[in-house]
Amino acid sequence: MKKIIIATLNPNKIREYRQILTPLGYEAISPIEVNIPLNFVEDGQTFTDNALIKARALAKLIDAAILADDSGLEINALDGFPGLHSHRFLLGASDDEKNLEIINMMKSQQDKTAQFVCVIALILPFQAPQIFKGIAPGYILDLPQGKNGFGYDPIFFSFEANAPFATLSTEEKNRYSHRGKATAQLVAYLKKNNY
C-alpha cells in the first residue's frame, strides 16, 4: 500500500482517514509512528491557510506524501462561528460540554443552518501543494443525538444523509461528511497521477 503521512496528532482524524483510505489502497500513518515531532502554529486566516501550514511543516521533516487538513463547523446565525476555532472553542472542555454550549448559543436563533467544512492540503515529493475542499450542509439540533463520530457530530443534522452525523455508520458518514468528500477528491487526484 502507498503510504501517506497525516499531519495531525488527533487520533480521531487518523482513524477516519484510515477508514477512508485503507480500502482504497493507501496506508494512513501518524507522525508518531515515524517518530516525527509536529511543531506548527495554526495562525492562518482560512481553513486552507491552516492546512498548508501543517502540511508544509511536516514536509520539511520528511520526504513523503503528506496530507494535512483543517476543518470546522460554520453556523450561519453566528456568522460562521466557531469556524476556524472549532477545535479550540472552550479549550479543555469535553465534546459534550462544547455541544451543549453551542445548543445554548442557538436557543434564540431562528436560522439553525450550518455546514461542516474540510480543506485538505496534499504535498507529494517535488510537487506543488494541491488543495481539496468538502462541504457538508445541515443544521444544528436542539439536543445531541447518537453516539458515533466525534466533536460536533451529535448536534449536526446532515441534509444529504437525512440524519444526525452521530447516528450514521462509518460508511455512511464517510459518504456524506465534509472530510469524506474532500478525501474522495484527493483519492481521484492520486489515482490520476499514479500515486
The whole-number pLDDT of residue 178 equals 96
Tell me, yes or no, if 70 is annotated catalytic. Answer: yes
At 168 the pLDDT is 97
| Beta carbons of 51 and 119 less than 8 angstroms apart | yes
Q: Which residue has the cell 461528511?
A: 177
Q: Quick one: pLDDT at residue 33?
A: 92
Please list, in sequence order, all residues whose beta carbon lies within 8 angstroms of the beta carbon of residue 160, skipping any fewer than 6 positions away: 136, 137, 138, 176
H helices of 25-177, in order, are: 47-59, 95-106, 170-176
Question: What does the pLDDT read at residue 37?
Answer: 85
**pTM as predicted:** 0.91
pLDDT attached to residue 195: 85
Q: What is the pLDDT of residue 114?
A: 98
Report the pLDDT value the prediction gives residue 40, as an integer from 0 to 100: 85
Q: Give the residue ranges of the chain where pLDDT is below 50.
A: none
Catalytic residue among 49, 63, 70, 79: 70
Q: Class assignment of domain 2-192?
A: alpha beta
Tell me which residue has cell 456568522: 79
pLDDT of residue 18: 93
Q: What pairing do the DSSP bridges indicate for beta strands 66-75 and 156-158? A: unpaired
Read off the pLDDT of residues 36-73 as tens digits, 9 standing for 90 and up.
988 888 899 999 999 999 999 999 999 999 999 999 99
Q: Which amino acid is it at 21?
A: L
Residue entry with cell 458518514 = 173
